[in-house]
């Protein structure tokens, strides 16, 4: 097993009052060759694999058509269509751009945020944002899929590109990619209520608690790894706001979650099975400096400041994303 882990950097920052901007570090991705649907072990799995193959073939067809449009002469019909398509792409929402850019396969998410904002708030806000987007992207995916059906007969018209079909197919692909990226990140953050750094602190706190009980005579034997696994998850849930911080309610949550949490902890620490995708939240003072300067003046973050910040943090398209996000952000506040 290789020791190399694929990591994805995500930037989370407020741009104006309560409006936030999310961006992902740009990476070049190649299409992965999917296994044949005939290799499915059951009928349901075969249908899912066949659907994934159809989506990939449609994606390849759209990319091929897009490449031909980009190579057309600017004065030709295809060249004008390409210019129109660029306007459509540049006009899409920054949230859709962020979600569809999330890689399909990654081992670790690192969310960078301003250090003057509590980690717990960033984590909760991001989870709520992903939950809302999961429903929105699913509805848009179905809507554009339905709208694409009536445009299929236009393929029989010779010498005329099926523009409505291409546009509807592109929107279906965009919302499918965005939905998959949203579900992947949401599942990671939901299965791990706190970041990696917080979980390490909670494990230490659990070890100290059991050590104190052992020294006080409340435990007959020294704390074992299994007992640590049963105590740490309820404490983690309490810190993240899932249970109360009081001792009496903590004992109640321990009795309620012990069986499921301990089995999950044993699965996590065992060497069997695929490696779980993890995430952590990292405060960055460079981001804090820029955000605080504009918050004090009650002004939105400027595009020039975003361009400089993006170059420092490794997000070269941050200025462009901010320019597209600011009009909507200023209207909603």
CA distance 327 to 306: 15
pTM for this structure? 0.65
12 beta partners: 22
Dist CA 248 CA 180 (whole Å): 40
Cβ contact 25:314 at 8 Å: yes
Distance CA 159, CA 230 (A): 68
Structure tokens at 195: 């970041």
Q: pLDDT band at residue 255, thresholds of 50, 70 and 90? A: very low
DSSP type of residue 246? S
Q: Assess contact for 237 and 257: CB atoms under 8 A.
A: yes
Each residue's pLDDT tens digit, 188-224: 999 876 655 666 666 677 777 777 777 765 545 555 5
Q: Which helix (H) or strand (E) holds 253?
A: helix 247-269
Beta bridge partners of 13: 21
Q: Among residues 15, 59, 56, 52, which one has the least CA distance to residue 37?
A: 52
Distance CA 185, CA 24 (A): 12
Q: Which of 126, 246, 244 is nearest to 195 (CA)?
A: 126
Evaluate if residue 136 carries a pLDDT over 90: yes
pLDDT tens for 278-324 read 899 999 999 888 888 888 778 888 888 888 988 888 888 888 888 88
Q: Give the integer Cα–Cα distance in Å for 113 and 224.
A: 36
Residue 65 binned pLDDT confidence (cut-offs 50, 70, 90): confident
């Amino acid at each position: 097993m290789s020791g190399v882990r694929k990591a994805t950097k995500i930037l989370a920052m407020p741009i104006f009052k309560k409006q936030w901007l999310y961006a992902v570090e740009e990476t070049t991705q190649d299409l992965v060759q999917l296994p044949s649907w005939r290799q499915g072990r059951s009928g349901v799995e075969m249908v899912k694999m066949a659907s994934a193959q159809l989506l990939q073939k449609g994606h390849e067809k759209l990319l091929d058509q897009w490449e031909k449009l980009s190579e057309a002469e600017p004065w030709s019909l295809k060249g004008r269509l390409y210019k129109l398509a660029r306007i459509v792409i540049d006009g899409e929402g920054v949230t859709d751009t962020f979600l569809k850019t999330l890689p399909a396969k990654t081992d670790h998410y690192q969310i960078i945020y301003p250090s003057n904002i509590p980690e717990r708030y960033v984590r909760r806000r991001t989870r709520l944002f992903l939950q809302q987007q999961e429903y929105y992207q699913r509805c848009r995916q179905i809507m554009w899929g339905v709208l694409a059906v009536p445009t299929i007969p236009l393929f029989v018209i010779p010498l005329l590109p099926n523009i409505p079909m291409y546009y509807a197919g592109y929107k279906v692909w965009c919302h499918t990619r965005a939905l998959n990226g949203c579900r992947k990140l949401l599942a990671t953050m939901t299965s791990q209520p706190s970041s990696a750094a917080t979980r390490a602190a909670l494990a230490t706190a659990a070890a100290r608690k059991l050590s104190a009980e052992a020294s006080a005579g409340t435990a007959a034997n020294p704390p074992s790894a299994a007992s640590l696994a049963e105590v740490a998850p309820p404490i983690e849930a309490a810190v993240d706001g899932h249970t109360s911080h009081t001792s009496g309610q903590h004992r109640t949550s321990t009795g309620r979650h012990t069986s499921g949490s301990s089995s999950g902890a044993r699965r996590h620490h065992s060497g069997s099975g695929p490696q779980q995708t993890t995430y952590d939240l990292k405060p960055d003072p460079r981001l804090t400096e820029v955000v605080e300067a504009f918050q004090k003046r009650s002004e939105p973050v400027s595009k020039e400041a975003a361009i400089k910040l993006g170059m420092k943090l490794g997000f070269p398209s941050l200025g462009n994303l901010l320019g597209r996000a600011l009009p909507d952000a200023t209207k909603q506040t």
